[in-house]
Amino acid sequence: MDMQKTGIFLAELRKGENLTQDELGEKIGVTNKTVSRWENGNYLPPVELLQMLSKLYGVSINELLSGERLNDEHYKENAEEYIVADLLKKRKEAKKRLVLAVIVACISVLAGLAITLLGTLLPAPIWVTVGCVAFSVVVVGLGIAVCCVLTVDAGVYECPHCGEKFVPSMKDFVFGVHTLTKRKLKCPNCGKKSFCKKKLS
């Protein structure tokens, strides 16, 4: 995506409607500075405003993002390009979150172990030991919770019976029996409980 091109196109469209940056900003509820940043290619309007601009100028969002009016053939090509780019971006983000989750898991388990060891090895009164163990349980629990939040929507699970791909609820995700790549989940489509394979996007 060429933001410069989109910006120039946005400016052209605005001038075509005989609007100043001020007037356009007023119409759609942003400042003239914001309009100017879009038109300079510094920022892309958020999706709600892209929808507004597309209606206002009578062009598609796809055309706004492409920075030009598209004929049918080009339209298809460009639409696919954006869909693919979006999917790739999502997959990249999902991978990043998975890596982060593994790091969080390792750190929390190590921290838990260290605290437990300290509590049991040091000559301390029993309540200190118990406190340390309890604290380490909390640390590990928090680590697991963070991991769940990070990975629950990273990718989808595939039902081995009907092939349905779905994102499990947080509850099913946390309490589902699992291996590294599979998790026992109830399929929302066929209702069977089975080990579903994790797929990225």
Which chain residues interact with Zn ion by CB under 5 A? 159, 161-162, 164, 187, 189-190
> CB of residue 171 vs Zn ion: minimum separation in angstroms?
19
* Closer of 148 and 162 to Zn ion (Cβ): 162
For the bound state, the minimum distance from the C-beta of residue 185 to Zn ion, rounded and expressed in Å, comes to: 10
Task: Provide, rounded to whole angstroms, the least separation between the CB of residue 194 and Zn ion.
Answer: 8
Q: What values do phi and psi take at 29, rounded to 5?
A: 80, 35
The smaller minimum CB distance to Zn ion, of residues 96 and 161, is found at 161
- Non-local (6+) Cβ contacts of 91 within 8 A are 200, 201
Q: SS3 of 48, please?
A: helix
User: Which residue lies nearer to Zn ion by CB, 50 or 159?
Assistant: 159
Q: How many other C-beta atoms lie within 10 A of the C-beta of residue 84?
A: 10
How many Å separate Cα 50 from the centre of its chain? 20
Smallest gap from Cβ 187 to Zn ion, in A, equals: 3
How deeply is 58 buried, as exposed, middle or buried, from its count of CB atoms within 10 A (0-12, 13-18, 19+)?
Answer: exposed
| Nearest CB to Zn ion, comparing residues 67 and 168 | 168
Task: Answer for the pair 25, 32: CB distance below 8 angstroms, yes or no.
Answer: yes
What is the SS3 assignment for 90? helix
